Structure 1
Amino acid sequence: MDLEEAFQAVGEFGIQQKWMVTVLILLQVYMAFQSMLIVLVGAVPEYHIESSVSPIASEEDLIKHVTFTEDISSIVTEWFLIRHQSYKVSLAGSLFFAGVLVGNVLFGPLSDKIGRKPVFLAGLFFEVLFGYATAFAPSYEVFALSRLLVGMMNGGMALVCFVLTQEYVGKAYWALTGTLTNMTFAVGIALFAVLGYFVRHWRTLATAANSPGVLFLLLSVPLPESPRWLYSQGRIEQAERVLLSLAQRNGRDAALLSLKLASGSAPSQRSAGGVLHLVTHPALRRRTLVLMYVWYACSLVYYGLTLNAGGDTGNRYVTVAMYGLVELPAYPLCIYFINKQWAGRRKTMASFLALAGFSCLFTMLIPVQAGSWFSATSLALLGKLMVSAAFNIVYVYTSELYPTIIRNAGLGVCSMSCRFGGILAPFVPSMKALHHSMPFMVFGLSGISAGGLGLLLPETLSKPIAETLEEMHSPAYQRILEREVHLFEEDLSKHKEIQ
């Protein structure tokens, strides 16, 4: 039997898989803590510098004459990161996301080559280790370096963790596990705000935020290797052992379980997965180019609207909590639409991206009116809701578009382009200097164009998932690829006619 038939026999989402996926989903709370740490640990309190003092020439003089008027503990108050030193707070945040970018690129191909579990556990172990280095950093330089290393582990491990939540269950449950993973991350952001409210000292907060990682590391050690990855590598006996163990714990009788490779995909004939195949394989090249832009646009619009929709006024802990909670309504919408035959992954993702884009464009036409429920701010928040939904779908959709043997490499490359969108997002608001509507025009056009390009991708709902590159040449996949090429050629011909 093939792998999907085997999952039907052992249980697509049995008791054992529910436990395994629950551990990985709850791990998102810990990863959200690490991602949001700099928001509270790097809080800048109000301060006063004695005006009667002559111009301050050195850092030592500044420390002597500055007074923090707000009772806050942060790296700013400990290392006096104000005035010409204030850039170091933003730098620490940028180093974390730079590390995430590197981790996405390195961990994806590595886990495709040596396995999901060893890469996942190693990443989680070192993230916890470097997280404690953050909490006990004796200087800013050590703190900044630890944030870079935590980011590398966080970005790479999160990628492998997401893939495992998909590969432990049957394909029918991929949308559910992927959506729950992203939703729990949003809840983790809100929980971090609650933790920060009760734990005010920044070193204690960093320690408390990192400590759940120890628990999740211990819970993750017994997790098995991905049976899909083992199957994609031709390690049939090991894949059968994992599936038989799942069947036993799920209370299923799988005595007749016997896997076999698809025709033409014996281990000696298999193509090794790698980033190079994303360029050399025609279908994968088209998909990767489109997905890279979609991921980039999702990140640009999401983080850009986060900066524009919320103000700096009010309680900072409430602000951080709302940053996560505002996303929650998006996830039930995703689960509903992407499993409907008349909507599916492709149309739903494209629609949400387009709606986010149009929300941004309409924002330019509405004047800011305080106290009005229908305002530019409400439209901007609606846009964020829509792009949050699209962001969730693109994770699930991308994992279904790539064969198992190269899935992590594909997700890694797409996630890399996503980080570039996040890096550029803070600079877009500065375009107000050209015209007040320019930032929302950029966000709007990015969302609409990404939605249009997303329609070039094939639908994956109720379609077979390839385990190897060779399986993409099977008759079922050939029909999908022919339609994909046809749509791509139609788009090119329309573009030429317009020109």
Structure 2
Amino acid sequence: MTTPNPSLSSPLLTHKSHHDPPPTTRLCIDDMLRHHCGEFGYWQFKHFVLTCMAWALEAFHTMVMIFADREPDWTCQSGFGCVSAGSSADVCELPAGAWRWEGGSGVSTVAEWGLICGQKYKVGLVQALFFGGCMIGAGLFGHLSDSKLGRKGSLSVVCILNAVFGLLTSLSPNYLTYVLLRVLTGFSTGGVGLCAFVLATEPVGPSKRGIAGMSTFYFFSGGIALLSGIAYVFQTWRSLYIASSVPSILFVFLILPFISESPRWYLIRGQTDKAMNIMRTIATTNGKSLPGNVYVARDEEVKENDEKSNEIRSKEVITGSVVDALKCRLTRVRLILVVGINFTCSIVYYGLSLNVVNLETNLYISVLVNAVAEMPAFFLTALLIDQFGRKPLAIWTQWFSGIFCIAGSFIGNEGAWKVVRMVCGVWGIFGMAGTYNLLFIYAMELFPTVVRNAALGCATQAAQLGAILAPFVVVLGGGVPFFVFGVCGIVGGILTFYLPETLSKPLYDTMDGMADGENEV
């Protein structure tokens, strides 16, 4: 038997290319979304809507004081001969027992604890302390969502705390207990919108992130509008606190399980496998295909050629805090400017909301109209943000508001001029609502993932401080508040001049990645 010649039995041509695996490609999350997963497909839409429902919860816990702490109308008791006017000033001149609150003492905290006349300041004090709690909570949960708890974990904690403190508030036996529980509610509320915003927008691609981020405020305004209906049904302040707190419980058990953690947070925490699992899910749900040789990496890793070094670095846990943001000159300047802008804008927004002329209708309709009136501003800025950029739009919306406010300060408050001043105030709110809308997405894009929530927490704290000070500006009376609001709007626009444009730029993951990206520009 003849043994075959090995050289003759071997194929003349080998096809090694069919068996060799394709080279590994490492992409940052923005590039992976843009080229393989889809920037805003069905997965992002569902994730965005479910996460942003938390904004409605923040609106419930923040604006419930409008109804719970309202001053109800009163009527005379028979036999006393007084004239019912619904004014606390008239009540202060009447003897005890000569009048009664319409609907009973349980309709509001003012009626139950007699927060009128010399005690009226306590209503404003509760509001100021609530925003003080928000300021503390925003800073703390901004840090925790960047570090140990993550975006979803922090959102879960604040929603649970909101539900607990809200329900306990309904059981308050006295004013001091009520104040304490409102401060604690503010503490947890301060982190709700912050965590929800970042969690909702981080998985969105760069070309869709602007309009998606600005659409989050529809949920906040929608929450205020819905609250007016809830308050109409639940007429007593204790039942209202229960009704406005139960949705937080439903959100935790019915919505949160269907929300994913941010892949960007997993990436900076060294959990690359979990980040890749989410990216594959995004691609599959969006009807896309993620190649097997494509892997997610942080910004600075993409620029490296040493795959072994990349593999080691991808497992590193990178953490950051406000201190880290202040140490880096690039982020330090941005943080100071963002804090200043949020402070001035908050004074204008909350100040005008308190200072505007009433709509001469019942409280429920007034709140509903105010909430709906902000939505055109959100819609307009969402349409323009990707055409004109974040920076120009932020400048002009603040100056738009500031110019109308300054004009209102020189207009009298008699006769027909009242209407003109009111129109100035409404246009001022319109401009500042648009600014508030785009500031979140602008601030988000100015900082890398490792310190993003911490920086936004500082910005939110500054906004809460402005909210605390706004009522004190309003009590100055006359044209002074309008002038102060106008100056704040102009100053905020000037500060924005010193920020860089972020339109179509990637969301950087680390300080080094952002520094490298800025140096390439």
TM range (shorter): 0.7 to 0.9
Partner of residue 426, structure 1 = 471
Q: In 2, Cα distance between the equivalents of 1:93 and 1:175? A: 32
Q: In 1, Cα distance between the equivalents of 2:369 and 2:416? A: 19
Partner of residue 65, structure 1 = 97
For the residue of structure 1 that corresponds to 2:258, the secondary structure is: coil
Q: 1:389 to 1:284 in 2, by over 3 A?
A: same
CA contact (8 A) 1:79 1:140 kept: yes
Partner of residue 281, structure 1 = 328
CA contact (8 A) 1:292 1:414 kept: yes
Counting only pairs closer than 5 Å after superposition, residues 82-231 of structure 1 correspond to structure 2 as: 82-114=116-148, 115-218=150-253, 219-231=255-267
Partner of residue 344, structure 2 = 297
Deviation at 1:348, TM superposition (A): 0.3
Deviation at 1:38, TM superposition (A): 1.0
Deviation at 1:426, TM superposition (A): 1.0
Deviation at 1:255, TM superposition (A): 4.0
| Matched residue count | 465
The residue type equivalent to 1:33 in the other structure is F
CA contact (8 A) 1:44 1:76 kept: yes
CA contact (8 A) 2:137 2:186 kept: yes
Partner of residue 437, structure 2 = 392
Indicate the RMSD between aligned Cα atoms, in angstroms: 2.4
Partner of residue 23, structure 2 = none
For the residue of structure 2 that corresponds to 1:431, the secondary structure is: coil
Partner of residue 470, structure 1 = 512
For the residue of structure 1 that corresponds to 2:45, the secondary structure is: helix
CA contact (8 A) 2:283 2:290 kept: yes
1:35-63, Cα deviation, whole Å (9 max, x unpaired): 111111111124479999xxxxxxxxx99
Q: 1:368 to 1:232 in 2, by over 3 A?
A: same
Corresponding residue to 2:378 among 331, 341, 350? 331
Deviation at 1:374, TM superposition (A): 6.8
Partner of residue 461, structure 2 = 416
Using the TM superposition, name which of 239-248 and 135-144 deviates more: 135-144
Deviation at 1:355, TM superposition (A): 1.0
For the residue of structure 2 that corresponds to 1:68, the secondary structure is: strand
Percent identity among equivalent residues? 31
1:259 and 2:259 correspond: no
Partner of residue 364, structure 1 = 409
- TM-score (normalised: structure 1): 0.87
For the residue of structure 1 that corresponds to 2:99, the secondary structure is: strand
Which runs of 5 or more structure 1 residues have no equivalent in the other structure?
A: 53-61, 481-499
CA contact (8 A) 1:45 1:70 kept: yes
- TM-score (normalised: structure 2): 0.84
Deviation at 1:84, TM superposition (A): 3.5
CA contact (8 A) 1:193 1:317 kept: yes
Deviation at 1:270, TM superposition (A): 7.4
Q: In 2, Cα distance between the equivalents of 1:117 and 1:25? A: 12
Q: 1:293 to 1:213 in 2, by over 3 A?
A: same
Q: In 2, Cα distance between the equivalents of 1:221 and 1:211? A: 17
Q: 1:19 to 1:63 in 2, by over 3 A?
A: farther
Deviation at 1:322, TM superposition (A): 2.3
1:31 and 2:22 correspond: no
CA contact (8 A) 1:240 1:259 kept: yes
Corresponding residue to 1:375 among 420, 437, 445? 420
1:448 and 2:485 correspond: no
The residue type equivalent to 1:287 in the other structure is R
For the residue of structure 2 that corresponds to 1:211, the secondary structure is: helix
Partner of residue 16, structure 2 = none
CA contact (8 A) 1:45 1:68 kept: no
Q: 1:63 to 1:437 in 2, by over 3 A?
A: closer
Q: In 2, Cα distance between the equivalents of 1:43 and 1:430? A: 18
For the residue of structure 1 that corresponds to 2:295, the secondary structure is: coil
Corresponding residue to 1:40 among 56, 63, 67? 67
Q: In 1, Cα distance between the equivalents of 2:383 and 2:214? A: 11
Partner of residue 492, structure 1 = none
The residue type equivalent to 1:227 in the other structure is P
Q: In 1, Cα distance between the equivalents of 2:270 and 2:316? A: 10
Q: In 1, Cα distance between the equivalents of 2:49 and 2:315? A: 36
CA contact (8 A) 2:356 2:422 kept: yes
CA contact (8 A) 1:47 1:66 kept: no
Q: In 1, Cα distance between the equivalents of 2:314 and 2:276? A: 16
Which runs of 5 or more structure 2 residues have no equivalent in the other structure?
A: 1-26, 82-93, 305-309
Q: In 2, Cα distance between the equivalents of 1:193 and 1:304? A: 21
Deviation at 1:64, TM superposition (A): 6.4
CA contact (8 A) 1:368 1:377 kept: no
For the residue of structure 2 that corresponds to 1:258, the secondary structure is: strand
Deviation at 1:356, TM superposition (A): 0.8
CA contact (8 A) 2:57 2:248 kept: yes
Q: In 1, Cα distance between the equivalents of 2:418 and 2:382? A: 28
CA contact (8 A) 2:398 2:432 kept: yes
Partner of residue 114, structure 2 = 80
Deviation at 1:370, TM superposition (A): 4.4
CA contact (8 A) 1:369 1:375 kept: no
For the residue of structure 2 that corresponds to 1:25, the secondary structure is: helix
The residue type equivalent to 1:122 in the other structure is V
For the residue of structure 2 that corresponds to 1:278, the secondary structure is: helix
The residue type equivalent to 1:462 in the other structure is S
Counting only pairs closer than 5 Å after superposition, residues 479-498 of structure 1 correspond to structure 2 as: 479-480=520-521
Q: In 1, Cα distance between the equivalents of 2:282 and 2:354? A: 45
CA contact (8 A) 1:270 1:470 kept: no
Partner of residue 239, structure 1 = 275
For the residue of structure 2 that corresponds to 1:328, the secondary structure is: helix
